[in-house]
A and B are shown apart, each in its own frame.
Chain A
Amino acid sequence: MPDTTALKSTDAPAAAVDAPPVTDSGPAPGKPRSLWSDAWHDLRRNPLFLISMVLILLLVVMAIFPSLFTSASPRDADLAKHYLQHPNWGHFFAPDWLGYDGQGRSIYARLIYGARASIMVGVVVTIAVTVLGLIIGMIAGYFGGWIDTILSRVTDIFFGVPFIVGAMVILTSFEQRSVWVVILSLSFLGWTQIARVARGSVITIKQADYVVAAKALGASTTRILTRHILPNAIAPVIVVATIALGGYIAAEATLSFLGIGLAEPTVSWGIDVSAASAQLRNAPYVLIIPSVMVSITVLSFLMFGDAVRNALDPKMR
């Protein structure tokens, strides 16, 4: 029998195990599975994925129904309470649980209500850049030639502008900075990475035999793009997008912190951190609590993205 599997010459372990040694739980030998069901199989057993999933669900519910978590309003200010009331760690989930901020507002309530802006920016920007990046990247990668040259240069141009600085330039020109303005400015500058990844994987895939075969059989360009290329090019794009989601949340918080992202009366963790920074020495909790919240949120999405990546491509880690 020919030694076809011994290309890597360490024949015994490879032949014996029949599965990539990197993943935690590989497929059972002999049962071919698709990339997606294989990934799902891996994800269900990954504790990091399960933890991040629970946290993300919690954050999403918080963003949609904040009143489920607290009866207090994030905008009710009682100056009598400002900075005087330190956290009452025993009063779980009561308005004074985490104390009051500089204007006498419940930190806990602001923590809950702040989720909406963060999640919305993160999710909507990610969807927008994914769609935009996919379209541009797929067109550039599939058609090649001068179309690719132009689109690639345009991508380079947008990539060349520093992300945060660029967003700052756009945002400062708006007097009223709603969530949508922030979303718009981040999406406008953020699509380049996805476009590059999508272009790269389309170029690889379009040389695959099944695409060549589909072309030879006379399938239309639209059909080839949507039925053959998109489903196969999307895995790396999803990986990049899920990880970028956390980055957009961090970017929103950073911009709001700098005073050029969201503005009052929108509730945002970044604004709260900024407001609390003056009193860092005396009332550190006012600053640390929303800071930690931002980090946990970003971490949840990063862990989620990391787990998805490992499941979709164990080698990419």
Chain B
Amino acid sequence: MGRYVARRLLQMIPVFLGSTLLVFLMMYALPGDPVRALAGEQHVDASQIAAMKASLGLDKPIWLQYLNYLGNLFQGDFGQQIGTQRPVAEVISEAYPITVRLAIFAFVFTVVAGISLGIIAGLKAESIRDRGLLGLTLVLISMPSFVLGFLVQYFVAFELGIAKPNVSLEPTNGELIMPAIVLASLSLAYVARLTRTSVAENIRADYMRTAVAKGLPRRRVIGVHLMRNSLIPVVTFLGTDIGALMGGAIVTEGIFNIKGVGSLVFEALKKREGATVVGVVTLLVVVYLVCSLLVDLLYAVLDPRIRYA
């Protein structure tokens, strides 16, 4: 096990470097110029721009820029914002907590509602109840989050007047519920479908028949024997989904006007603030990599047939 973890950690290094390089290249090698973006409509002459670029190191070859960035990154330095002159690490650490809270809420909602719906459907596969729930998940999946976001906003905030359409600057947990549900909807639908499939498949397994033949009560047959097997693929999916929720938060934050990482990236993109964008994406990549490693390890714990050499 220890050797496996070590090998996986080693494998993560090229993926981490590659992903950050990819984002770095997309940010800096493609057209789009932060200095010009900063200048906006004002007329700035070419020599001024060149001087500013030089001071930011943007005149160097792209590979050197990347190496510099990496070097700084490993010392915990995410660079500086060009516009505000603030350290990127500080800007990100201000924005992160609310996004993490949003993602955690959404995750909890995904787990609770997704798995419950999946079990309800899967226990009676091919029934009307099952088909209805499958149809519902299909509808949820086909609604992009901005569509669902506005629909929820319109009905909950304007028609029913239960909640405010946008959250305040320092949102309370209650205010985050509505955005979290919107953010969770896609994952929830996937989790429900996956759970349903897994339950419906395992319920026909031979060991389920054995469990019944042993005279176990139904709640034990379902709760222990069926669930212990059915939830293995679901747990795997949930692990990789944390990263997706963080990414999806960017759109949701836009709809509900939440000042988290999403708005940060969005603003930074408009201003071509490379350091901020690359910094946020780097963190998302790390979250994704750590989650997928944890999932793999968890998988070994949940399924004894998996052996890591």
A residues with CB within 8 A of B: 8-9, 22, 153-154, 156-158, 160-166, 168-170, 172-175, 246, 250, 253-254, 257-258, 260, 270, 273, 277, 280-281, 284, 287-288, 291-292, 294-296, 298-299, 302-303, 306, 315-317
Contacts and interface: CB of A to CB of B under 8 A. Distances in A.
A82 to B, nearest CB: 20
A169 B144 contact: no
Contacts of B251: 164, 254, 258
Contacts of A277: 150
Contacts of B146: 253-254, 257-258, 270, 273, 291
B138 A161 contact: no
Interface in B239-286: 243-244, 246-248, 250-251, 254, 265-266, 269-270, 272, 277, 280-281, 284-285
Contacts of B27: 169, 173
A170 B26 contact: yes
Contacts of A156: 15, 18
Interface in B160-217: 165, 197, 200-201, 206
B23 A166 contact: yes
Interface of B: 11, 14-16, 18-19, 22-23, 26-27, 30-32, 126, 138-139, 141-147, 150-151, 153-154, 158, 165, 197, 200-201, 206, 243-244, 246-248, 250-251, 254, 265-266, 269-270, 272, 277, 280-281, 284-285, 288-289
Nearest to B248: A164
A303 B23 contact: no
A153 B14 contact: yes
A170 B254 contact: no
B19 A246 contact: no
Contacts of B141: 246, 298, 302
A154 B21 CA distance: 12
Contact of B143 (A260, A295, A303): A295
Given A161-B23, A166-B22, 17 more contacts: A8-B206, A157-B18, A158-B22, A161-B281, A162-B281, A164-B250, A165-B247, A168-B250, A169-B277, A170-B30, A172-B32, A246-B141, A253-B147, A284-B158, A287-B154, A295-B147, A302-B142
Contacts of B201: 315
Contacts of B145: 254
Given A163-B247, A165-B247, A299 B15 contact: no
B144 A250 contact: yes
A82 B96 CA distance: 40
A165 B265 contact: yes
A296 B138 CA distance: 11
12 contacts: A153-B18, A157-B22, A162-B243, A164-B248, A165-B281, A166-B22, A168-B250, A258-B266, A273-B147, A280-B158, A296-B142, A302-B141
Nearest to B125: A22
Contacts of A173: 26-27, 30-32, 272
A228 to B, nearest CB: 30
B142 A298 contact: yes
Contacts of B272: 172-173
A160 B288 contact: yes
A255 to B, nearest CB: 9
With a 10 A CB-CB cut-off, give which of B15, B27, B266 has the most chain A CB atoms. B15
A157 B15 contact: yes
Contact of A291 (B22, B151, B165): B151
A291 B149 CA distance: 10
A160 B19 CA distance: 6
Nearest to B131: A48
Contact of B158 (A172, A281, A298, A299): A281
A172 B270 contact: yes
A303 B32 CA distance: 39
Nearest to B251: A254
B186 to A, nearest CB: 9
A58 to B, nearest CB: 16
B263 to A, nearest CB: 11
Contacts of B266: 168, 258
B137 to A, nearest CB: 10
Contacts of B270: 172
Contacts of B243: 162
Contacts of B151: 288, 291
With a 10 A CB-CB cut-off, give which of A169, A292, A295 has the most chain B CB atoms. A169
Contact of B139 (A170, A288, A299): A299
B150 A287 contact: yes
Nearest to B269: A172
B247 A294 contact: no
A232 to B, nearest CB: 23
Contacts of B31: 173-175
A160 B285 contact: yes
Nearest to A276: B150
Contacts of B289: 160
